[in-house]
Amino acid sequence: MPPHPVRFVRLRIAGFKSFAEPASVEILPGLTGIVGPNGCGKSNVVEALRWAMGESSARALRGGEMDDVIFAGTAARAARNLAEVTVTMEGAAGLAPQPFHDADELQITRRIERGAGSAYRINGRDARARDVQTL
C-alpha cells in the first residue's frame, strides 16, 4: 500500500469527444465536482478520465464503438483522426507494474487513431491495457 493516498493531479485531453483542441485540467486537493452549463463538456471530462484508465465499453462512454470518442467535427471544425488523454497521478509508488513500480508520479496516456484502435503508455513507455486497469 502506498504511504499516502493516490491522487489524480492533472488531466490533458486532445481530440476527445467535444475537446477538439487540447485542454488541461489541474485537479487540486479538495475538488469535489465539476459545474457548468449544459453542453460545456462536464461529462466528457469524467469520461476522458475513465477512458484513459482503461474503460473498454464504448456504451459506457455513450458511444456505439470506441472510435466515437474521437472528435467527430462540426460545421465549423473538421473532424480529428485521433484522440489522446493523459492522466497524471501522484502517490502511486508500489501500485504500478514493473518497470514503473517505484515511481511516485505516473503519467498514463491512452491514444486512439480512427480505425486503428488504441494504445497505452505509462511514463512514456508502452503498456498493456491490463497494466493500466489494475491501477
Residue 74: which of 18, 1, 4 has the closest Cα?
A: 18
79 part of a folded domain: yes
1 part of a folded domain: no
pLDDT surpassing 90 at residue 24:
yes
CATH number of the domain encompassing residue 73: 3.40.50.300
Alpha-carbon span 87 to 105, nearest angstrom: 10
3-state secondary structure of 61: helix
pLDDT surpassing 90 at residue 19:
yes
pLDDT tens-digit readout, 35-76: 999 988 999 999 999 999 999 988 999 999 999 999 999 999
Distance, CA of 32 to chain centre: 18
Sign of CA dihedral 54, 59, 64, 68: negative
Alpha-carbon span 39 to 43, nearest angstrom: 9
State which residues form the domain around 103. 7-133
Which residues, listed in sequence order, are joined to residue 127 by a DSSP beta bridge?
A: 120
The structural domain count of the chain equals 1
Model pLDDT, residue 127: 94
75 part of a folded domain: yes
Distances (CA, A) of 17 to 1, 3, 4, 83, 134: 35, 36, 33, 8, 25
Model pLDDT, residue 112: 98
Mean pLDDT of the chain: 91
Alpha-carbon span 3 to 1, nearest angstrom: 7
Which residues, listed in sequence order, are joined to residue 33 by a DSSP beta bridge?
A: none
- pLDDT band, very low/low/confident/very high, at 3 (cuts 50, 70, 90): low
Say what percent of the chain tops pLDDT 90: 70
Instruction: Tell me which residue has cell 493516498.
Output: 5
- pLDDT band, very low/low/confident/very high, at 4 (cuts 50, 70, 90): low
2 part of a folded domain: no
Model pLDDT, residue 5: 82
